[in-house]
Chain A
Amino acid sequence: MADVVTLREAKAGPGATRQAAAGRFGHRVRRNLSAYAFLIGAVLCFTFFSWYPIVREVVMSFQKAVYGGGYTWAGFRNYTRIIHDPMFWQAWRNTLEFTLLALVIGYAVPFCVAILLNELRHARGYLRILVYLPVMLPPASALLLFSYFYNPQYGLFDDVLRILHLPTSQWVLQPGTGFISTAMVSVVVASTWMNMGAATLIYLAALQNIPGELYEAAELDGAGLFSRIRHVTIPQTRLILILLLMLQVVATMQMFVESFVLTNGGGGVGNNTQSVVMLIYQYAFAYSGASNYNSASALGVILMVVLAVFSGGFLWATRERG
């Protein structure tokens, strides 16, 4: 009997540790399995609708469709073809024009408005709601309203000009592709009205975080209003200013719905409000003859690279030194 027990004990010794190790391993596997069970839905959605399309965009831009279905490699042919499309350069020029105008109008205005609102001691809630209200509208509602105002025959803006005996304008339908074209300014005005609320409120929150002592100290040192803005307000909100500048450029470079709705999908007179994303849309879905997912993907890759280079370069140039 004693022999058996010792034998068992002798056998149990290493077996128990192995069992324990297997148990720990099993525990870890089970832990991971349940953790992945929680993750799986999101991971599948990211795979199908985000990660895979990113890869596929690059792949498609180097392919061409084969008659009868399927794709074959095309090298850089999609890229060379779209670069030779005059519309390509027109769209880039327009997009840069929109981005620059949106910076001049849409970037400066919210900051000034936020500074102004932050100084007011009354009606702050009301004014804040006012500024943010257009952001909540469905873009089609807001833009159809603006295209009603911009209408050259019966629009409100021309009516006002007529009452003032000023020359009327065609607004978004004004021909001409000068660098600051009336058409593009009209698009930017509508876009700014629609979108400025979000930036204003973010600035406002940043302004409220500035310690009051800084202003006090600056004032005691004899700093006037503008030098206080210059030396206290702007440095204190620098991070937000830089971040929103980058986000705004990236967002405005992707302009689509404003021009699309205001010009009824047409891109304006002589395509003077045609944007890059509109051109992607037209390459992929609207052009009848040259309609082609591959050219659209090539243009998408170019836009992606341009924006990535811009954001990377911008973050590098504005990084905290020291």
Chain B
Amino acid sequence: MAGFVTAGPRLVRRRTEATPAKRTQTPTATRTLISSAQLNRRRGRITYGVILTLVIVVFTLVFIGPLYFLFADGLKSTQEAIATPPTLYPHHVYPSSYSTAWNRLDVAKLLWNTIYYGFGALAFQLVFDVTAAYSLSKLRPALGNVILFLMLATLMIPATVLVVPQYVTVVDLPIVHVNLVGSPAAIWLPSVANAFNIFLLKRFFDSIPTDYIDAAQIDGASRLTILRRIVLPISRPILGVVSIFGLVAVWKDFLWPLLVEYGYTPTRETLNVGIWQASVGTPQNLIIAASAMAAVPTIVFFLIFQRNIMAGLTAGGIRG
């Protein structure tokens, strides 16, 4: 208890020493497992310093280390990339590995395909899932709850289990008898059947007060206008979450694009499938260079949107 009291002034001094940027990172009032008082004792401070340094070093090694080799080994020659003992950094820098890999694997094409599939899927998801969630939340048609239940029930079915019947369906779409394999629609349309999107969007729309919508209706606004002018502007945060996860899902998907785009029309592969397919029979340094190039867009994307991604992961995600 005494320690608790004497820690007061020290705590204040520590806070004033901290730069404003640091202060925002460390919310002052929250008490965690170990009290600030304990940390501010001499022994506590030494232990804390040692652990902090250790954590930073170990985490950097574990998580950045592999990425360092991902980018550095693409700059090595084939001989150096597979040399034992390994070189810690490229002794002879071959930027040409990157350009060779770029040309040989047609990374530009793969990248374009992935972006095309990703944004296309996102557009379809935003149009169809947003309107559906709006309808289920605010227009409330007859049997709407049954439809919602059936949609949410699909969350219980693991996705990979359905791969075979889904593929058979896409090869010969019932009623219309169209073969979607090899066309971007084979990725775009199934991505709309995402119950998690419906769940997130509907839950958000439910929280919008009906008064706004009633008022607009009295003013003569149509349902589409209400969606566009009132609901969507309020829903920007959740739309951001849905968009980011929609894009990332297409970017990271492997089995589905492998089935519906690979084999039939090789130029339509995604980045993820394309570099895997090329990995047999291509020199190791080129594969590493290609993998590094495939990783750049997502890393940049993550660094730009990291706040939204992390907020979406925790707030929009599991905790509902």
* Interface residues, chain A, with chain B CB atoms under 8 Å away: 31-32, 34-36, 38-39, 41-43, 45-46, 48-54, 56-57, 60, 115-134, 136-142, 144-149, 151, 153-154, 156, 159, 162-163, 193, 198, 201-202, 204-208, 210, 212-213, 215-216, 219, 225, 228-229, 232-233, 240, 243-244, 247, 250, 253-254, 256-257, 260-261, 264, 277, 280-281, 284-285, 293, 296-297, 300, 303-304, 307-308, 311
Contacts and interface: CB of A to CB of B under 8 A. Distances in A.
Contact of A124 (B25, B63, B271, B318): B25
B287 interface: yes
B100 interface: no
**Which has the most chain A C-beta neighbours within 10 Å: B129, B160, B173, B190?**
B160
B316 to A, nearest CB: 11
A193 to B, nearest CB: 7
Nearest to B259: A285
A180 to B, nearest CB: 22
B75 interface: no
B141 A32 contact: yes
5 contacts: A35-B141, A205-B319, A208-B30, A260-B254, A293-B164
A232 B32 CA distance: 11
Interface in B126-164: 127-129, 131-132, 134-136, 139-142, 144, 147, 150-151, 154, 156-164
Contact of A122 (B22, B70, B279, B315): B22
B34 interface: yes
B310 interface: yes
A261 B275 CA distance: 10
A261 B276 contact: yes
Interface of B: 22, 25-26, 29-36, 39, 48, 51-52, 55-56, 59-60, 62-64, 66-67, 69-70, 73, 81-86, 127-129, 131-132, 134-136, 139-142, 144, 147, 150-151, 154, 156-170, 173-174, 189-190, 192-193, 195, 198, 223, 227, 248, 251-252, 254-255, 259, 271-273, 275-276, 279-280, 284, 287-288, 291-292, 294-295, 298-299, 301-303, 306, 309-310, 313-315, 317-319
Nearest to B190: A49
Given A34-B223, A45-B193, A205-B314, A163 B85 contact: yes
Contacts of B132: 38-39, 41-43
A64 to B, nearest CB: 14
A94 to B, nearest CB: 15
A125 B288 CA distance: 29
B299 A125 contact: no
Contacts of B69: 145, 148-149, 156
A1 to B, nearest CB: 41
A136 B301 contact: yes
A49 B193 contact: yes
**Which has the most chain A C-beta neighbours within 10 Å: B163, B169, B302?**
B163
Contacts of B83: 154
A148 B193 contact: no
B35 A215 contact: yes
A49 to B, nearest CB: 4
A236 B309 CA distance: 25
Given A137-B299, A140-B275, A256 B255 contact: yes
Given A52-B174, A159-B86, A202 B255 contact: no
A48 B35 contact: no
B310 A128 contact: yes
